[in-house]
Structure 1
Amino acid sequence: MTGALASCAGAVGSGGVTLRLVAADYGDSSANSSKKYWDQLVEDFEAAHSGIKVEVSVYSWNDVDRKVKEMVARGDAPDMAQIGAYADYAAAGKLYPADDVLSIPVQADFASELSDAGKVNRTQYGMPFAASTRILFYNKTLFSEAGITTPPQSWSDLATDAQLLKAKGVTYPYALPLGPEEAQAETMQWLLSGGAGYLNGFGGYDLDSAQNVATFTWLKDNLVGKGLTGPVAPGKLNRADAFAAFTRGEVGMLNGHPSLMKMAREKGVKFGMVPMPGINGRAKSTMGVADWMTAFQQGGHKDQIREFLDYVYSEKNVLSFSREYDLLPVTSSAQEAMARSPQDQDLEPFLQELPSAELYPVGKTSWATVSADIKNRIGKAVGPDGSPAAILAQLQRAAVTADSAAR
């Protein structure tokens, strides 16, 4: 799955350059490993660009960020890394601005909400590579058996439907994964549906706002406290386990991203998808997630990186990657092509949510620390002895401290 890393960029013929790229694996088996995608892309690129070779090393998402961090720490940064965050490297002055490594047409083709999320101090360093949004999945068979004729549009609807599902013996009427794998995602989705989020209007952390406390108090009292979230405590339920339970027909409702469609279909689950309900109707915004391409300055290969990344972000390649892994394109041209294509209609509900989606505050160098803290603590807020106000206040104090230390 992984290629051997060269210790440094070597010569390729006269005046040639070898670029090194470290990338994350979006596949779930060797059959659809991202290595296959990159191998084909690099083969096509090198055939048309003499003098530039590209070596790609692919690692699982469990390892890729750590691998890049280790390389940078020992003074052996790759030319490019396709990873989950960028702000720390940008703040340390290790990255090229996107202006330096993308042509103007390619950079301008990024969806604006994704470009903006890639900026530190108004300069773009993070180049969006893949995106997804979250919407509410529901099991049509379980809904029918419980006598539910329409999917929920408000929190009240969701709680009522969960009660009906529980009465029919559904194991997880609503799956609430606040376990350490991805609690920051489920948390953000609910905070947004409650009308707030992680940040205030000035870009500062605001985790313990009155709206956020009200949201988690509602979750604790109306879902968790009434036994509507299943046999596993939310703080111990991971997203992967919740998805697996959905594919087994054990979950009535849960927040999901595009890859859940394929997983559910393969298991024969009949499902529907709707925007996340809000307090009194559809939530004003949903959560979006983006992964990032970064270009490191250490190797000094700015011009060659630009040639390669312009190729990577061509409409053809962006569409190919998005279709292979059920992800949303990060460029406007590929999004428009997907919207026109019958083969991509399954992704249309997610595409519709992207323009109004709110992403993690990845431009803050403190976000990695804050995210890890949320993963560790937020499940306690809805536990039997938990206090949403107290837990969110603890998270807020820690976030402010982390933010101050990162400046």
Structure 2
Amino acid sequence: MKGRYLRPAATGAALSLTLATLAGCGTVSGLTGDNEVTLRVVAADYGDNPQNSSAGYWKNLASSFEKDNPGVHVEVSVYSWSEVDAKVAAMVKAGKAPDIAQIGAYADYAEAGKLYTADELLSVTTEADFLAPLADAGKVKRVQYGMPFVASTRLLFYNTKLLGDAGIIPKDGSTPWQPKSWADIEAAAKKLKAANVPTPFALPLGREEAQAETMMWLLAGGGGYTDNEEAYSIDSAENVKSLEFLRDKMVGQQLTGPVEPAKLDRQAAFDAFTRGEVGMLNGHPTLLKQAAGKGVKFGMVAMPTIDGTDHSTMGVADWVMAFKNGHKKESGKFLDHLFSAKNVTTFTNQYDLLPVTTSGYRAMAGSTGGSAAQLKTFLTALPSARLYPVGKKSWAGVSEDVKQNIGKTVAPGGQPAKVLEEIAVAARKADGER
């Protein structure tokens, strides 16, 4: 899952950790005794500064695992999202793959025969605990290799003050906004523009997360990247119509602000929202704390659809995988520990993300403290959400193609049908489809 659909800002520099130096309880790889095993784990950082780095979570997780499993040592390296996938790829290429990696994609490694399957690693209880759509998204040719780590869904955020001032909702916020169709979004954006709101609707189709923003609109338009048989349908008539709406009704009527969508990244849009400059935008749970921290009053609703009828919503997940390094038993034990209800909820609560397991889902659904009430709105959509086609080895390339080109489709004079066809042809070729 390259991009910012789940994760907060990358920290920039790599935060390389070994428990030998941080906790004094680990050992350097290669210096363990004859009956000892060292697991090398690489993970991504979900923090946006050194103080809330994921390094602390992994340190505590590994320490508690080592305590219960004498003779198994764990070395964890935590890197920013801007480099973690490349780090793992370089390790694999050099013949030094980690035992476990928590990164953005798994399918290419599975296709190359480098990963253990989930049922080779996990206890029956752990394997059965994954939410069904997330477990299915972790499969290649109906076999699960990718284990979901954390998940997220998306909602439409709106600034209650700006909508109140524009006459869209009562100024006192007594009645929430309840848009159902894209016509409702267009009408509200026009009122916000008339009220001199700098960006009525932020449409981030810049490189950071264009593939996510695009997928939200495609699904709400009755389409998507794939059809019901999971074959690519990028150039479908529904998808073309969705992008034409954005080109003609949103960008064409100057309702998307001063920065053209192709140059607007997700975090830049979030920052503008927290400054009170954006009326509406699609967002993930990370925006909850960012907006609240700046004192912005906001509401959240399900993404309206093209015609007001229900369509699939988007979900996203990051992945854990175990490489075939001869440590299947030890890796499996560590993953069972990682996916325990306690450890799942510890991580999701820290970063306002969604659990990937039924036990974690129930724990969050029953919680009342902190931002639990707001997160439940995201949580409700998770069991039936559609995810990126990450089980396709071609997805990483398709995602990059979307990032580079989709912004052109909504610019004045853009050609959605032509661009989508070009992306689709390349996608089908890469995936071996006709």
Smaller-chain TM-score range?
over 0.9
Cα distance in 2 for residues equivalent to 1:301 and 1:5:
19
Supply the AA of the counterpart residue of 1:131. Answer: A
Per-residue deviation, 1:309: 0.8
Instruction: Compute the RMSD of aligned alpha carbons.
Output: 1.6
Q: Which residue of 2 aligns with 1:2?
A: 16
Mapped pair 1:345 → 2:373: yes
- 2:218 maps to a residue whose letter is L
Q: Counterparts in 2 of 1:19-98, with a 5 A limit?
A: 19-98=39-118
- 2:209 partner letter: E
Q: 1:323 aligns with which of 349, 352, 355?
A: 349
* Structure 1: gaps spanning 5 or more residues: none
Counterpart secondary structure, 1:252:
strand
Would you say the 8 A contact 1:138–1:151 is kept in 2?
no
Partner of 2:208: 181
In the alignment, residue 48 of structure 1 is paired with which amino acid?
D
CA displacement, residues 117-164 of structure 1 (integer Å, 9 cap, x when unaligned): 000011000000010001100000100000112242210000000000
Question: What is the distance in 1 between the residues matched to 2:140 and 2:251?
Answer: 38
Match of 1:404 in 2: 432
Q: Does 1:142 align with 2:162?
A: yes
Structure 1 stretches of 4+ with a deviation exceeding 2 A read 3-14
Q: Post-superposition shift, 1:282?
A: 5.3
Query: Residue 339 of structure 2 aligns to which amino acid in structure 1?
Result: Y
Counterpart CA distance in 2 for 1:320 and 1:346 is: 17
Tell me the TM-score normalized by structure 1.
Answer: 0.97
- Between the aligned partners of 1:142 and 1:285, the Cα distance in structure 2 is 29
Deviation at 1:79, TM superposition (A): 0.2
Question: Who is 1:112 aligned against?
Answer: 132
Shift of 1:399: 1.3
Please state if 1:224 is matched with 2:251: yes
Partner in structure 1 of residue 358 of structure 2: 332
Matches within 5 A, 1:358-373: 358-373=386-401
Q: Deviations over 1:88-130 (max 9, x none)?
A: 0000000000111111100100001100000001100000001
Give yes or no for the alignment of 1:395 onto 2:415.
no
Q: Which residue is equivalent to 1:354?
A: 382
TM-score using structure 2 length: 0.91
Residue 251 of structure 1 aligns with which residue? 278
Rate the CA distance shift 1:282–1:239 in 2: closer, same or farther, 3 A.
farther
Letter in 1 for 2:308: G
- Partner of residue 262, structure 2: 235
Q: Work out the CA distance in 2 between the residues paired with 1:321 and 1:366.
A: 30
Which of 393, 397, 402 in structure 2 is aligned with 1:374? 402
Give the distance between the partners of 1:90 and 1:9, measured in 2 at CA.
25
Task: After TM superposition, give the deviation of residue 42 of structure 1 in Å.
Answer: 1.1
CA contact (8 A) 2:219 2:312 kept: yes
5+ residue gaps, structure 2: 1-14, 21-26, 170-176
Question: Contact 2:121–2:328 (CA<8 Å) still a contact in 1?
Answer: yes
Moved more, 146-155 or 219-228: 146-155
CA distance in 2, matches of 1:217, 1:308: 48
Distance 1:138 1:249 in 2: 10
CA drift of 1:4 comes to 5.9
What is the aligned counterpart of 1:204 among 220, 223, 231? 231
Segment of structure 1 superposing worse, 326-335 or 280-289: 280-289
Deviations 1:11-62 (A, max 9, x none): 5345011100000000011111000111111111111211111000000000
Moved more, 45-54 or 225-234: 45-54
1:208-251 per-position Cα deviation (integer Å, ceiling 9, x unaligned):
11111111111111101000000011111111111111111111
| Cα 1:379–1:316 shift into 2, 3 Å | same
Structure 1 residue 201 displacement after superposition: 2.3
Paired letter, 1:331: T
User: Sequence identity of aligned pairs in percent?
Assistant: 58
For residue 319 of structure 1, what is the amino acid of its counterpart? T
Check if 1:286 corresponds to 2:308.
Answer: no
- 1:194–1:283: 8 Å Cα contact kept in structure 2? no
User: What amino acid sits opposite 1:83 in the alignment?
Assistant: I
Report if the CA contact (8 A) 2:159-2:298 is conserved: yes
1:271 aligns with 2:298: yes
1:347-402 CA-partner distances (Å, limit 9, x unpaired): 10100111121100000000000100000000000111211111111111121222
- One-letter code aligned to 1:112: A
| Whole-angstrom distance in 2 between the partners of 1:397 and 1:106 | 39
Alignment match, 2:412:
384
Secondary structure of the 2:224 match is coil
Are 1:100 and 2:120 counterparts? Answer: yes
Amino acid at match of 1:304: E
Quick one: structure 1 residues 302 and 65, their matched pair in 2 at CA, closer, same or farther if it must change by over 3 Å?
Answer: same
Q: Distance in 2 between matches of 1:155 and 1:283?
A: 12
CA distance in 2, matches of 1:401, 1:349: 39
Contact 1:182 1:238 survives alignment (8 Å): yes
Q: Find the aligned partners of 2:132 and 2:189 in 1 and give their Cα distance.
A: 37
CA distance in 2 between partners of 1:46 and 1:109 (Å) = 24
Separation in 2, partners of 1:197, 1:138: 24
Change (3 A) 1:239 1:282: farther
